[in-house]
Chain A
Amino acid sequence: MKDFEQWTKLLVDVIARATAQLPEDVTRAIRQGRTHEAEGSLAAMALDAVLKNAELACTDKAPMCQDTGVPIFWIHHPVGVSTGMLSKACAEAVRQATAQNLLRENAVDTLTGKNTGNGYAPSIPSVHCEEWDRPETKVQLLLKGGGCENTSAQYSLPDTKLGADRNLEGARRVVLDAVFQAQGKGCGPGILGVCLGGDRGTGYLEAKYQLLRHLDDHNPTPELDAMETRILDEANQLGIGPMGFGGKTTLLGVKIGTLGRVPASYFVSIAYLCWAARRAGAVVAANGDVTWLS
């Protein structure tokens, strides 16, 4: 079992990886998108810039984007691991990573408007611990930038204007509307995490959790898998393109999960993630051995 200092050190390493290393599946999807854009177009120029930047960040172990966002940790742990200790270790890791310029001084007191200067404020980082019946601990981190967070959206169905009923077709309609509304503001090509159901709080959290999935995975639920493929294809017909410059690469992926809902509510929560999909993680075995997640 690792102690507080060991956990903190590991979590700083997770942050260092997330901020500087674009996941391989994301890099592949951007390269794939690049092949669809016309030579000399603004879309091609933007994707080339993104790929070059990813290389520089990786080589220098430096933040690929200056908005290092809200660090969101999901931790699955065995019985007996203290969630209080893990939460404190996450906060301390964010403080240390901020001091090392791996993260920007990115936490502001909402009432006073003062930057706390150390990366920490209530709910920053955001930590979600869940016990599971396995011996190892899994840590997953998403650095969710503010620009893309501002373009995220939540719809309450039915939506008359969009002709969206309380079913998968209604969900498809509002998700496409969200992509249209986002235009280039969320630093596209973006990745959508979507949650059908839940309440306004759990819906968004599940939508963000979906963003931890690899772009090339498949949804185990066939109708959701088909919907992910369809929305990705349709969104890329909108012509918004990288950065909203126009082009064929508007989204890199769509990942959809579901939660239960009460009869009165049908929320569709859409978490927009920028191309700088800063996701990292590690599995810590009972004996302390660390395996990095891709």
Chain B
Amino acid sequence: MAQLNLPCDETTIRALRVGEPALLSGRIITGRDTAHHWLVGAYREEVAPYLQGSIIYHCGPVVRKNADGTYDFVAAGPTTSAREEPYQADVIGRYGVRGVIGKGGMFDKTRKGLVQHGAVYLHAVGGTAQSLARAVVRVERVFKLEEFGVPEAMWVIEVKDFPTVVTMDANGGSLHETIAEGSKAVLQKLLGLTSKAG
């Protein structure tokens, strides 16, 4: 079990391996579809310091606004990462991001980006929004709330012992690719297809 304190450096990230559970503590930032599109549109100076050396969490939380103007995360599990595939590698490279948390894995462009820039893909267990909201100990601030809405806004949060698994590492390894290849072979056998036809 790796303990990852954020922000962190490239050496720490490059030591992580596919299949390794990792507990995250420190400051991270949420970002999903609208945010990624916005981040690649231009260099966004206001959020850049929060991205440097940290992790983007693919998450659209349920958030409670308190009477004193502060916020709490009520439910906060990962969303499907595949939608960020066109942007992820560019966002990682441009802002010095050390990884992303999401679910379902990502594909070749991101995998190359992880290797090139020294970053990882961390998988949280989808749907476990209550457990994961409890690992969010503080909401520090939020960017683009009015414009993007609650799920798509970029929430700067502090997490403690946030549970993930490394499923794509900075050395080109991908659990998702391994599982896809294995399951494809079984499918072809079940359907009596040759690998060429499948």
Binding site for A on B (CB under 8 A): 19, 21, 34, 59-62, 64, 74-77, 79-80, 82, 103-105, 123, 125-131, 133-134, 148-152, 163, 165, 167, 175-176, 178-180, 182-184, 186-187, 190-193, 197-198
Contact = CB atoms under 8 A, between A and B. Distances in A.
Given A176-B190, A185-B104, A239-B182, A244 B149 contact: no
Given A62-B130, A146-B79, 7 more contacts: A42-B21, A65-B75, A163-B197, A184-B104, A240-B183, A246-B178, A274-B127
Interface in A131-162: 145-147, 150, 161-162
B184 A65 contact: no
Given A66-B60, A239-B179, A180 B127 contact: no
Given A101-B64, A163-B193, A108 B130 contact: no
Chain A contact residues, majority secondary structure: loop
Interface stretch (A45-53, A82-90, A262-270): A45-53
B80 A50 contact: no
Contact of B187 (A64, A68, A186, A238): A238
A245 B175 contact: yes
B131 A67 contact: no
Interface in A235-264: 237-246
A106 interface: yes
Nearest to B151: A104
A161 B179 contact: no
Contacts of B148: 115
A246 B177 CA distance: 11
Contact of B191 (A163, A240, A275): A163
A104 B167 CA distance: 28
A158 to B, nearest CB: 14
Contacts of B191: 162-163, 173, 176-177
Contact of A104 (B126, B150, B180): B150
Contacts of B123: 243, 245
